[in-house]
């Protein structure tokens, strides 16, 4: 199986190299992964720490040269602990599921080996507290951006820094800044 898969993958990617990747009516598909640590002292004598791991597949369509719109799914797992002088350590585990839309604009020429993007997005989010068995929903919006490195005409590696404003209906609102690394495959239009 491996002996067949790798040559087919290389042939597929090579065959797409002759076409521009950011043209109107082209498609893109891929995703990103992120890993965040946090540590804070919200009040005197207390400590909060944790981590989040996320995976976000996406697919987009170029409505004009260098501008794609699309759908993004995201799942994340977080684990955190809170310690203060009065109560014992409290640990929580959450699973987040998000579905949303994005718009992505490439600033430089379509044939540039390195490009810069900006990507505003809005998500519907559902948060599951794995310790208590409860869940809550809300909305998130934000913007991300960073460099995109084209490995060839149909494959890119991206480093994205993202800010999100998170609003949960029954809980709270907070800001989130994270970094992600992603991979995208570009499918040219058939003309």
pTM, entire model: 0.80
Quick: pLDDT tens for 35-49: 887 777 666 666 778
CA quadruple 169, 172, 177, 181: dihedral positive or negative? negative
pLDDT at 45: 65
Q: Are 31 and 182 in contact (CB under 8 A)?
A: yes
Average pLDDT over residues 69-95: 87
CATH among 2.60.40.10, 2.70.98.10, 3.40.50.280, 2.40.160.20 for 2-187: 2.40.160.20
Average pLDDT over residues 14-41: 77
pLDDT at 5: 56
**Which tops the pLDDT comparison, 10 or 161?**
161
pLDDT at 171: 64
Distance in angstroms (rounded) separating the CA atoms of residues 28 and 21 = 8
Q: Are 146 and 134 in contact (CB under 8 A)?
A: no
Quick: pLDDT tens for 104-163: 999 999 889 999 999 999 999 998 999 888 888 999 999 999 999 999 989 999 999 999
Q: Which residue ranges make up each domain of the chain?
A: 2-187
């Amino acid at each position: 199986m491996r002996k067949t898969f790798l040559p087919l993958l290389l042939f597929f990617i090579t065959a797409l190299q002759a076409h521009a990747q950011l043209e109107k009516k082209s498609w893109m598909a891929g995703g990103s992964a992120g890993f965040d640590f946090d540590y804070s002292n919200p009040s005197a004598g207390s400590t909060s720490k944790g981590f989040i791991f996320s995976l976000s597949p996406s697919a987009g369509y170029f409505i004009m040269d260098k501008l794609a719109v699309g759908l993004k799914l995201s799942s994340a797992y977080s684990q955190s602990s809170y310690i203060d002088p009065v109560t014992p350590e409290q640990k929580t585990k959450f699973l987040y599921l998000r579905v949303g839309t994005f718009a992505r604009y490439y600033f430089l020429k379509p044939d540039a080996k390195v490009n810069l993007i900006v990507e505003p997005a809005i998500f519907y989010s559902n948060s599951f507290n794995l310790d208590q068995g409860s869940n809550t929903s809300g909305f998130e919006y934000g913007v991300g951006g960073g460099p995109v490195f084209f490995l060839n005409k149909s494959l890119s590696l991206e480093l994205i820094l993202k800010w999100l404003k998170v609003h949960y209906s029954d809980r709270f609102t907070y800001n989130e800044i994270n970094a992600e690394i992603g991979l995208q495959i570009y499918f040219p239009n058939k003309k």
